Amino acid sequence: MKGNEERAADMAAQVWRQGGLAAFPTETVYGLGANGLDDAAAAKIYAAKGRPSDNPLILHIARKEQVLSLVKEVNEAGHLLMDAFWPGPLTLIFPKADCVPYGTTGGLDTVAIRMPSHPQARKLLERVNLPIAAPSANISGRPSPTTAKHVWEDMDGRIDLIIDGGAVGIGVESTIVDLTESIPVILRPGYITKEMLEKVVGEVAIDPAIMGTMDQKLHPKAPGMKYRHYAPKAPLTLVEGDEVSVAAFINQKVKDAAPKTVGIIAVEETKNRYEGGIVKSIGSRADMESIAHNLYDVLRAFDNENVDLIYSESFSEHEFGQAVMNRLKKAAGQQMIHLNAE
């Protein structure tokens, strides 16, 4: 008899071959998968998520060789990055081959491709032997799902299958690197940092839209960047400053807001400084990976507790911290208060 994982792979492959939607775990977040070569199947992803149709999808593959049939060319930087970081949380953007429909690329002549490292994701992708278009398996704009329960909350009744692989490891989406410019450009920060990329390919640029400093009139290269994203239902404000001032500021806000309920995102090191509100620890300031891992679960938990306002501590933007702060700033709609500012 086949084990559960084998049967899950058979079921997902069948759903995908029939043009349906199956959500599955990856090492970054849960993906909402469909056949990436089938316009009609991709259209179902946009409908299920309520996603704007100009926001392109990432194709997920099981083997590096699959790239060759999906792109016009792989340049030297592409080969170096694929060899160094695949399978893993790095998405690469190439000029697309004709077989990739515009329905999956949001009308662009480029295609985003990733080879995940999660063992169950790899098994499903090997079984189906098709490139699977898969954005995060959440309703558009909400925090990304990092457990099958999160997927269920958003997608119950909208999709054909959810594969439960437990909680994901990393907890924020893949790093996206555009290979169609003269030097590679980071369009979205993730676990693979600029420093890690530069050790492999030399100079790497960062798209100015990433940290929200972009002129609103510029058209962002990763179309997803122009949309509000990752957001809890209650308005979120980030507070930046030294530990003592941040806690004092938020404690005052909790008093001022009464009788409204305030959610507070703190860390292990600071959680006991808060005197009221609903305090959740997002991890340890000394361990950025713990903060990334818990980020979306904490944002979703505040939705379930129906808080009216959320205040969050702010984190270092050094290395992997850049990915975490990019998501938090978007979740906050760029609302940030700087204490101790000169």
The residue from 66, 105, 117, 136 that contacts Mg ion (CB under 5 A) is 136
The residue from 117, 136, 193, 322 that contacts ligand AMP (CB under 6 A) is 136
- Residues 6 or more apart from 76 whose CB is under 8 A from it? none
Name the minimum Å distance from CB 318 to ligand AMP: 23
The residue (of 148 and 309) whose beta carbon lies closer to ligand AMP is 148
- Give the residue among 160, 116, 183 at the shortest CA–CA distance from 23: 160
175-178/185-188 β-pairing: antiparallel
Name the minimum Å distance from CB 69 to ligand AMP: 17
DSSP string, 220-287: -SSGGGGS--S--SS-EEEEES-HHHHHHHHHHHHHHHTTS-EEEEE-TTTGGG--SSEEEE--BTTB
Q: Which does 299 bind (CB under 5 to 8 A by kind): Mg ion, ligand AMP, none?
A: none
Name the minimum Å distance from CB 268 to ligand AMP: 28
Rg of the chain over Cα atoms, rounded to whole angstroms, equals 20
Q: Which does 111 bind (CB under 5 to 8 A by kind): Mg ion, ligand AMP, none?
A: ligand AMP
| Chain residues 45-104 in contact with ligand AMP, contact rule CB under 6 A | 55-56, 58, 93
* Span from 119-127, 164-172, 221-229, 283-291 in contact with ligand AMP (CB under 6 A): 221-229
Q: Is 133 helix (H, G, I), strand (E, B) or coil?
A: strand
Whether 25 and 118 have beta carbons less than 8 Å apart is answered as yes
Site string for ligand AMP, 158-177 (x = CB under 6 A): ---------------x--x-
The residue from 74, 111, 239, 247 that contacts ligand AMP (CB under 6 A) is 111
The residue (of 131 and 263) whose beta carbon lies closer to ligand AMP is 131
Q: Which does 176 bind (CB under 5 to 8 A by kind): ligand AMP, Mg ion, none?
A: ligand AMP
Q: Is 9 helix (H, G, I), strand (E, B) or coil?
A: helix
Spatial distance between the Cα atoms of 253 and 265, rounded to a whole number of angstroms: 14
Q: Does 117 bind Mg ion (CB under 5 A)?
A: no
Whether 239 and 313 have beta carbons less than 8 Å apart is answered as yes
Q: Does 33 bind ligand AMP (CB under 6 A)?
A: no
Name the minimum Å distance from CB 135 to Mg ion: 5
Count Cα neighbours of 132 within 13 Å in the Cβ-side half-sphere. 37
Count, residues in the chain: 342
The residue (of 173 and 313) whose beta carbon lies closer to ligand AMP is 173
The residue (of 144 and 322) whose beta carbon lies closer to Mg ion is 144
Place of tokens 């050094």: 318
- Give the residue among 256, 232, 255 at the shortest CA–CA distance from 312: 232
Q: Which residues bind ligand AMP (CB under 6 A)?
A: 55-56, 58, 93, 105, 108, 110-112, 135-136, 173, 176, 187-188, 221-224
Q: Which residues bind Mg ion (CB under 5 A)?
A: 135-136
